[in-house]
Chain A
Amino acid sequence: MAGHLFEVDNLNIEFRRSDDKVYAVNGVSFSIGEGGTLGIVGESGSGKSVTMMSCIGLIRSNGTVKAGTAKFEGHDLLKMNRKQLEHIRGLEIGVIFQDPMTSLNPLMRIGDQIMEGMIEHHYATPRDAFDRTINLLGEMGIPEPKTRFRNYPHEFSGGMRQRIMIAMALACEPKLLIADEPTTALDVTVQMQILALLKEQQEKKNMSIAMITHDFGVATNFCDKIVVLYAGQVMEVAETKEFIRRPAHPYTIGLKNSIIEVGQRDRALKPIPGMAPTLTSPPTSCSFADRCPLVTDRCRNELPVLRQVDGNHMVACHRAEEVLNHAV
């Protein structure tokens, strides 16, 4: 396989609190290939956003990256200074967030906001940037781009605002797009539209996407590889097809069983008991052990490492083989 565009290795992040520390990310590693789509899936507090955002220097002030590397085209983003990061952000790596209203400037015309990035990064002259912005708005499916250029964010619906965010993120044709729950706040019909738009743009521009989501439906339909995070640790990584066919971590399986799908009226519910822990010390055993139906003494005493079970399928569970072979 060719070199990866983006490669995170053994990332560790801690957050200071008033009288303790939270170990939010503990030895996370994964990679995204050129043109690939990685789904980073997890529940709230799993560290899925923190992982990606800290790589591009967006981390809360009480957080520290303790160890690890995050290589973008071979250069470690975590070693870069603020200026270098700012250069890469927006030009090489685009970001879209869940709530476009809070990330758009309410006092600035949306057209100017889209142009700003291009001009600041010397990606285009102001005149070119203007033309490109009109084009982009059209491409994003915003009707009458020339008129809408002059509108302010509050004059758009939620779906339209998300399209504007995408236009901003794609303005400089980044190689990697980080999408942090981009459709969570949207209605289902609009979610479809936005995902289709992202897919279309990705194919056109051969861009890679890191899709941070809690939604298995979105991840499995949109991404070609999936990494599952729990308590700041990678539980499972696999190609989407393999992931659907043969999930190997009890947490992944529990999570998949937690989703109610259409046509399951008569199904019995088997929720995962309990709730996800907040780690105030580094993990020394399996963080899922307390909720796991397959727990053994070993799980409570020994931290399972992420290991290859089959092809590119990686799992952090002592009993992964048994699960795969239907022995349990």
Chain B
Amino acid sequence: MAVATVSTQSGAKPKRSRSQFAQAWRRYRRNYLAVGGLIWVIIFLIAGIIGPWIAPYSYSHTDFLNVNSPPTWQHIMGTDNLGHDMYSEILWSIRFALEIAFGATLVSFVIGIVLGLWAGMKGGIVDQIIMRLVDFMGAFPTFFFDLLLVVKFGRGMGPILMAIGITGWAGYARLIRGLVLSMRKGDMVEAATALGASQMHIARRYLLPNVMNQMAVSLAFGIPNDLTVMAGLSIVGMGLRPPMPSFGNLVAQAGSMMLGFPWMMYFPAGIFALTLLSYLFMADGLSEALNPRGGD
């Protein structure tokens, strides 16, 4: 927390100041939906981290005595047609979903930052090539591309993560390039150049910190997007290979048993929907808190 009291010779009233983070948090707090979203996202994260330990059963454990069981004390969210404990399945799904979504987003993000920064700072032919690539990725049916990659490399964690990751960077690159471009010609970069700063130094100390707000927001929007893509892959049968559970698998499987055993759909679909919504509310709140338009 920066508390600065600045006054010249006299006359100036000391000014109380808060760190930028504290100010952003204060604005964020006012948005109840965003706070609710944040709480759910945190619960989701914790569940993902400790899930494997608190899950009463392994995801491959089958309880043949209780197949298609409605919620009971033994299986609080019921079981599916193979006797998998739904509660455990969901906890494991969360774990896998987080691993893939975070991993994929990280991959896209890093590619996007590097290419976006490069294009924005260099300009000219480099910029042209990178931006054409971005356009190409934007116009290309990436879900189809994901499918191809998964078919080629298999339905494991790694291939799915990479497939989603390397198709999702175009948006980040475009955003960061635009931001950098608007700053590159500005006084701030010129002042740093005049001090003798290298391009690397300018990118690290001046450009990156100033795009982080917008990047954080687009990251927050990116994770639910990747979760959706991942679920989509599962629903068309190209997600994680069973018995590894995922929200997509659970929902797809429950779809055919909806009439007889609706709880199989309610729990995974409900939790997944709530999670996506929470991410969106959180991202929305973040964008408002970090980039306030007028007023405090």
Contacts and interface: CB of A to CB of B under 8 A. Distances in A.
- Given a CB threshold of 8 Å, the question of whether A touches B is answered with yes
Given A17-B296, A18-B296, A62-B295, A274 B9 contact: yes
Contact of A274 (B8, B295, B296): B8
A276 B9 CA distance: 12
A280 interface: yes
A106 interface: no
Contacts of A62: 295
Interface string B9-48: 1111100000000000000000000000000000000000
A273 B296 contact: no
A290 B295 contact: no
A274 B13 contact: no
Interface string A280-310: 1000000000110000000000000000000
Given A17-B296, A62-B295, A275 B8 contact: yes
Contacts of B296: 17-18
Do most interface residues of chain A lie in helix, strand or loop, or is the interface mixed?
A: loop
Interface in A13-66: 17-18, 61-62
Interface string B143-155: 0000000000000
Contacts of A274: 8-12
A277 B12 CA distance: 6
B12 to A, nearest CB: 6
Contacts of B13: 277-278, 280
A291 B295 contact: no
A97 B287 CA distance: 33
Contacts of A277: 11-13
Interface in A58-79: 61-62
Q: What are the 4 tightest A-B residue pairs by CB atom distance, in nearest-first order?
A: A274-B11, A290-B11, A18-B296, A290-B10
Given A278-B13, A280-B13, 11 more contacts: A17-B296, A18-B296, A61-B295, A273-B11, A274-B8, A274-B12, A275-B8, A275-B12, A290-B11, A291-B10, A291-B11
Interface string A252-288: 0000000000000000000001111110100000000
A300 to B, nearest CB: 12
Interface in A169-210: none
A273 B295 contact: no
A275 B11 contact: yes
Nearest to A281: B13
B14 to A, nearest CB: 11
B13 to A, nearest CB: 6
